[in-house]
Structure 1
């Protein structure tokens, strides 16, 4: 009679061996898909759908005046292959991207070294450095349009006062100077972004590695090329990739400064696709021109990412 309550109390106090039920918030697989869903929807809506529409339009005869879809096959591609401006735009795009990427990486590396230095007021300097990137591209390009004006350019005025030139240079009116001006403005915009990316890489380099190299007698340039650059090479490659993407697909600077002139000498694929497809109302041909950006940019991205992977493995 007296043992029964004791047994029941022991059974009550004994913990249950059944595993606790996992809630939905504890499921890693479900949470992973929930967090990825906004990104997937964003890419599908703003990248995937326009890309599929561009492919469909490129094999049609859709125009601004006649939106009806009629399949024409590869006719639009044959037309752009016979267009001299297309080949000029393709050449300009490659030159524009190659020179801009080189300058962005070099000046970004120099600026990153300056920004990590310890000096009074460095936070204010960092704020000023970021202004070209944070300023809307249209506003900054309009400012440069005034600075490079053919008649009232302050840059030409300063050069005349210094005795370096006699007449205005007409920065945006001569083919060579116009392309150089577009590249300079674009590099001015993207160098701060590259500098911030590289600055993060430089700050991740262990200080004791730099100090040990200095103790061993390595000077500034030797530490730069044998220690700093090899350790930050993947970060530099990522900065170059971002520079290539923003340069290859950019048309804002060209549109505001030169509108592709003079005589289409500064035309790039992105701007030429806009002029033919939107301003020229030939949507089908504009889509066909824009599609050439994809394989070229994909090839550049794959090459850079493979180089980053080899750097990380080695």
Structure 2
């Protein structure tokens, strides 16, 4: 038997022992991969294969029945960027994402700081806060649709009782009011998620840091900027990335309340994609919209994580 490239005479019994050890090592090496194989196959089937199909569809000429007629390169993308409606929808989506994520993050920091304090009924307030997030988004959206209804909405009723308005307002049909109201609904749905992420981060900050800061003469504002925010950086990173992806891909809120009306004023990329694919049967352009959305989200996530990591270093 060769050992390190040199012929060495080894008794037969020892040779069998060595072969047994080698077989066991091979089993140990292959064992974890065999356990991972079902998960890898599932990921390929559910995630990777649809992505590959999406990319192929985005550069193909698709029939009305959804069949590929041939390769057309980037024509679907060119058609989209020549469409004024798509440019408007893309701007809507960017404004929607920045506004909802930014405002909900600021408000959630204040709410989480409040919930981190000791006060009577704190458990009840925490449980109440999570309700809008725990309830299905489509149910919340439908409730808001009725709140904003012209004839039966409670918002018009309350404002009328308070004497603020004399006649009912078309909240959802007004091009000026509809989109800001959708942002308000998005913030309402998002706040519980971000608040509890920040609350978990606040509870992990040692109280000794604040005690040391107070001894050194730091007030609450300095403690917030020099202790709380730096310690919350991991929570802020997770919240910002996940919340941006979630808000950017939001579909139920807009579709349940306005369906993108009036005149595409409240359309987002997701609702516009749905209309292209299932109402206008433009599968190639719809796939191109999905690819553009994926590139935008991936670019943001990589840029933000690199920025946060660099600041941390």
- TM-score w.r.t. the length of structure 1 is 0.85
2:92 matched to which residue of 1? 92
Pairs within 5 Å for 1:225-264: 225-264=225-264
Task: Quickly say closer, same or farther: Cα 1:35–1:143, change in 2 above 3 A.
Answer: farther
Q: Which moved more, 1:90-99 or 1:121-130?
A: 121-130
Distance 2:34 2:228 in 1: 39
Distance 1:156 1:254 in 2: 20
Distance 2:297 2:29 in 1: 34
Pairs within 5 Å for 1:39-118: 40-118=40-118
Asked whether 1:183 is paired with 2:162, we answer no
1:106-131 C-alpha deviation (Å, 9 max, x unpaired): 11211211222222332222221111
Distance 1:201 1:28 in 2: 39
Query: Do 1:234 and 1:312's aligned partners in 2 also have CA atoms closer than 8 Å?
Result: no
Query: Do 1:278 and 1:286's aligned partners in 2 also have CA atoms closer than 8 Å?
Result: no
Task: Quickly say closer, same or farther: Cα 1:303–1:158, change in 2 above 3 A.
Answer: same
Structure 1: runs of 5 or more not aligned: 1-17
1:51 Cα offset (Å): 1.5
1:37 Cα offset (Å): 5.1
1:289 matched to which residue of 2? 289
1:60-119 C-alpha deviation (Å, 9 max, x unpaired): 222442524422222222221221110001111111111111112111211211222222
Q: When the two structures are aligned, how many residues end up with a matched partner?
A: 293
Query: Do 2:61 and 2:70's aligned partners in 1 also have CA atoms closer than 8 Å?
Result: yes
Query: Do 2:276 and 2:283's aligned partners in 1 also have CA atoms closer than 8 Å?
Result: yes
Structure 2: runs of 5 or more not aligned: 1-17
- TM-score w.r.t. the length of structure 2 is 0.85
Distance 1:240 1:163 in 2: 40
2:146 matched to which residue of 1? 146
Query: Do 1:112 and 1:195's aligned partners in 2 also have CA atoms closer than 8 Å?
Result: yes
Query: Do 1:59 and 1:74's aligned partners in 2 also have CA atoms closer than 8 Å?
Result: yes
Distance 2:201 2:259 in 1: 37
1:41 Cα offset (Å): 4.1
Distance 2:162 2:253 in 1: 29
Distance 2:166 2:268 in 1: 32
1:243 Cα offset (Å): 1.1
Distance 2:36 2:129 in 1: 33
Distance 1:40 1:197 in 2: 30
Distance 1:252 1:179 in 2: 15
Task: Quickly say closer, same or farther: Cα 1:186–1:37, change in 2 above 3 A.
Answer: farther
Asked whether 1:302 is paired with 2:292, we answer no
**SS of equivalent to 1:61:** strand
Asked whether 1:155 is paired with 2:181, we answer no
**SS of equivalent to 2:260:** coil
Query: Do 2:57 and 2:68's aligned partners in 1 also have CA atoms closer than 8 Å?
Result: no
